[in-house]
C-alpha cells in the first residue's frame, strides 16, 4: 500500500496528453496507462506504467480487456470508509485518485458510408465507459477528466495541492454527459438497423427544415402511438400533430362533444367543439356548400376551429377527436392543409383525403388511448378580425366566378383588418376578385360593430402582468378571463377586471408550450 497519488490514463483524443503527463509527473503522481496512451507517454520520455502493473494480468482478447479488473475499479470506487480501507488492504489494492479518459467518437464510425454492423460493434467501448462511469460515480473523492480542455485548470489546482469540490462536481457532470452522448449514438445506430422495419421507428421526410436529413421519429417503447395512412410526415408535422391531439382529446373528455383544432408551428390557430352552425356562420366559414354539415358535429367543430383565424390556419395540421366522416373530410379537401390526425377514418372519408395533394396529404391515425409522458424531450392574434367577418358587408360580398378559397380569405382579411392596399398592383390584385368592390370600414363602423361582440372568453397560459391587457380584452367584448396568478400586479389586474364587469377565473397551472 502506498500514499502516492495514482492516475489512470486511457484516452482516444490525445490532445494535451503530453502536457498532462508532464504535469502529473512533476507532482509525483504515479501514471498508469494502457495501449496507445501508454506508448505515447513512454516514447516522450515521461514515467508511465502499464495498467497490468497493478492488475497482474495482460491485455487480452485483442485489447478488448485491459482495465476491467478489481485492482482498477476497487481503487476507483473505494470511499474513505473504514470498511473500504480494510477491503483494499486485504487485497493489497491502492486507491486511484485521478481518472483521465475519453472515448472514440462512435458517431464518426457510423457516419461512414455503408458501415457494417460488425464494424460498428468493434467501436463499442466497454472498459473506457466503465472507467468514466466509476470515477464519476465516486467524484466525492475521485477526479474524472473526460475533456482535454480541462487539463490546464486541473493541473493548476493540482500544483496548489488539491482539486476543489466544485471542480470535481463539474468534471463529473461532463463525464456523465460524455457517456450519455456515446450511448445515444450507439442506440441510434442500432435503432436504425433493428427497429427500422418495425413499429418503433419512422423515417421522416426531413427535420425542421428540408435540408436537415436524415430525420426520424422513434420510441423506446413497444411501438409509436400513430400510424401513417397516407403521405410522409416531416418533423414539424409531427410536432403539430402530437401537440394538437391532446388538446382535442381533453376538449372531448371535458365537454362531451366532438372537438377539432387547427395547429400551425406547434400552436393552436383555432380550436372548437361541434355546435350547430347558423346560416351566417356557414357563410363565414365557407361551409355552406358542404353536404351533411348539419348532421356532423365533427365537421362543425373543424369549421369553427379553421374559421377562428383563417390566415394563421393556412397550411395547418388538423386534429380531430372522433372518427372522421365524409362531411369533415369534404371540408378538409377544400382547404390548404398539410395533414390531419384522428383516431380513425370512415372508408369513404379516407378515400377523399388520400386524393388531396396528389396523394401526398399526410393522414395519421392516433391510438385514442395514447397519453404522452410527463416529460417531453425536444418552439395569435385575431379575436377582432374573426368578429368583423360576420359583418353584413363581408357576408354580402359578391365574388367573381372562379375565385379560389385562399384568395377569398386573403381579401377578407385585408378588408376586415383595415389594411387595404391604396394603389398600384396590390390594389389591382385585391379588387380583381370582386364583382363589386366593398368599401373600407370607417372607424365609426368598426367601433359600432365591435360593441355588438359580447360574452367572449379569454384564456392565457400565463399571468397578466399589466392591466392594459384587461382593458384591451374588454374592447373585444371579453366577459370572462381564465389565467394563472403569480404576478406582483395580480390585485390590480383583478380589480380592473371587476370594474369592467369581467369575471376573472384564477387558475392554478401556468403552461408555456412552444
| Residues 6 or more apart in contact with residue 78 via CB below 8 angstroms | 84, 85, 87, 88, 93, 95, 138, 141
One DSSP character per residue, 65-109 reads BSS-SHHHHHHHH--S-HHHHHHHHHHT-PPP-EEEEE---HHHH
Distance, CA of 34 to chain centre: 41
Alpha-carbon dihedral angle through residues 35, 41, 47, 48, given to the nearest 10 degrees = -20
Element (H, E) at 202: strand 201-204
| Residue 457: all three cell numbers together | 372568453
- Do residues 301 and 274 make contact, with C-beta atoms less than 8 angstroms apart? yes
Query: 280-307: b or e for each residue (b if 16 or more CB lie within 10 Å)?
Result: ebbbbbbbeebeebeebbbbbbbbbbbb
Which of 22, 107, 137, 334 is catalytic? The answer is 137
Taking every pair of Cα atoms in the chain, the longest distance, rounded to a whole number of angstroms, is 100
Polymer length in residues for the chain: 514
Please give the backbone phi and psi of residue 143, each rounded to the nearest 5 degrees, phi first: -100, 125
Task: Tell me the C-alpha distance between 276 and 385, whole Å.
Answer: 22
| Residues 6 or more apart in contact with residue 213 via CB below 8 angstroms | 206, 207
Question: Which three-class secondary structure state does DSSP give residue 507?
Answer: strand
Active site residue 137: yes
Q: Is 89 exposed, middle or buried (0-12, 13-18, 19+ CB in 10 A)?
A: exposed
Which of 86, 265, 360, 514 is catalytic? The answer is 265
Among 49, 39, 63, 144, which Cα is nearest to 102's?
Answer: 144
Task: Tell me the C-alpha distance between 276 and 292, whole Å.
Answer: 12
Q: Which residue numbers are catalytic?
A: 137, 265
Amino acid at each position: 500500500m502506498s500514499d502516492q497519488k495514482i492516475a489512470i490514463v486511457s484516452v482516444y483524443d490525445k490532445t494535451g496528453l503530453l502536457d498532462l503527463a508532464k504535469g502529473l509527473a512533476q507532482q509525483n503522481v504515479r501514471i498508469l496507462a494502457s495501449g496507445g496512451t501508454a506508448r505515447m507517454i513512454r516514447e516522450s520520455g515521461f514515467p508511465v506504467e502499464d495498467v497490468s502493473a497493478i492488475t497482474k494480468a495482460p491485455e487480452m482478447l485483442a485489447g478488448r480487456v485491459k482495465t476491467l479488473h478489481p485492482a482498477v475499479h476497487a481503487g476507483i470506487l473505494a470511499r474513505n470508509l473504514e470498511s473500504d480501507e480494510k477491503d483494499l488492504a486485504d487485497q493489497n489494492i491502492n486507491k486511484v485518485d485521478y481518472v483521465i479518459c475519453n472515448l472514440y467518437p462512435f458517431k464518426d464510425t457510423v457516419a461512414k458510408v455503408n458501415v457494417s454492423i460488425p464494424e460498428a460493434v468493434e467501436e463499442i467501448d466497454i472498459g473506457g465507459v466503465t472507467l468514466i462511469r466509476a470515477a464519476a460515480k465516486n467524484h466525492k473523492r475521485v477526479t474524472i477528466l473526460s475533456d482535454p480542455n480541462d487539463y490546464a485548470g486541473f493541473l493548476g489546482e493540482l500544483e496548489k495541492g488539491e482539486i476543489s469540490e466544485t471542480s470535481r462536481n463539474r468534471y463529473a457532470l461532463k463525464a456523465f454527459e460524455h457517456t450519455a452522448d456515446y450511448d445515444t449514438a450507439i442506440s441510434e445506430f442500432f435503432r436504425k438497423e433493428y427497429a427500422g422495419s418495425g413499429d418503433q421507428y419512422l423515417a421522416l421526410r426531413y427535420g425542421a427544415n428540408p435540408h436537415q436529413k436524415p430525420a426520424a421519429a422513434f420510441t423506446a417503447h413497444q411501438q409509436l402511438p400513430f400510424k401513417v395512412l397516407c403521405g410522409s410526415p416531416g418533423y414539424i408535422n409531427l410536432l403539430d400533430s402530437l401537440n394538437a391531439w391532446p388538446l382535442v382529446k381533453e376538449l372531448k373528455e371535458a365537454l362531451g362533444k366532438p372537438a377539432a383544432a387547427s395547429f400551425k408551428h406547434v400552436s393552436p390557430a383555432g380550436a372548437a367543439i361541434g355546435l350547430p352552425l347558423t346560416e351566417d356562420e356557414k357563410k363565414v366559414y365557407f361551409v355552406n356548400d358542404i353536404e351533411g354539415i348539419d348532421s356532423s358535429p365533427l365537421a362543425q367543430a373543424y369549421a369553427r376551429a379553421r374559421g377562428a383565424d383563417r390566415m394563421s390556419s393556412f397550411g395547418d395540421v388538423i386534429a380531430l377527436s372522433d372518427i372522421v366522416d365524409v362531411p369533415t373530410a369534404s371540408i378538409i379537401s377544400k382547404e390548404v392543409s398539410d395533414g390531419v390526425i384522428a383516431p380513425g377514418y370512415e372508408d369513404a372519408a379516407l378515400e377523399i383525403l388520400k386524393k388531396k395533394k396528389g396523394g401526398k396529404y399526410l393522414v395519421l391515425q392516433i391510438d385514442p388511448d395514447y397519453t404522452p409522458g410527463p416529460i417531453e424531450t425536444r418552439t395569435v392574434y385575431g379575436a377582432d378580425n374573426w368578429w368583423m367577418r360576420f359583418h353584413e358587408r363581408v357576408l354580402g360580398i359578391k365574388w367573381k366566378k372562379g375565385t379560389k378559397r385562399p384568395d377569398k380569405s386573403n381579401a377578407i382579411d385585408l378588408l376586415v383588418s383595415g389594411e387595404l392596399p391604396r394603389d398600384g398592383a396590390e390594389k389591382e390584385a385585391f379588387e380583381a376578385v370582386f364583382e363589386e368592390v366593398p368599401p373600407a370600414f370607417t372607424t365609426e363602423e368598426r367601433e359600432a360593430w365591435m360593441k355588438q361582440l359580447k360574452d367572449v372568453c379569454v384564456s392565457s397560459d400565463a399571468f397578466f402582468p399589466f392591466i392594459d391587457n384587461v382593458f384591451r380584452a374588454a374592447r373585444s367584448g371579453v366577459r370572462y378571463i381564465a389565467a394563472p396568478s403569480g404576478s406582483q400586479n395580480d390585485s390590480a389586474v383583478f380589480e380592473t377586471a371587476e370594474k369592467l364587469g369581467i369575471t376573472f377565473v384564477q387558475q392554478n397551472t401556468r403552461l408555456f408550450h412552444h
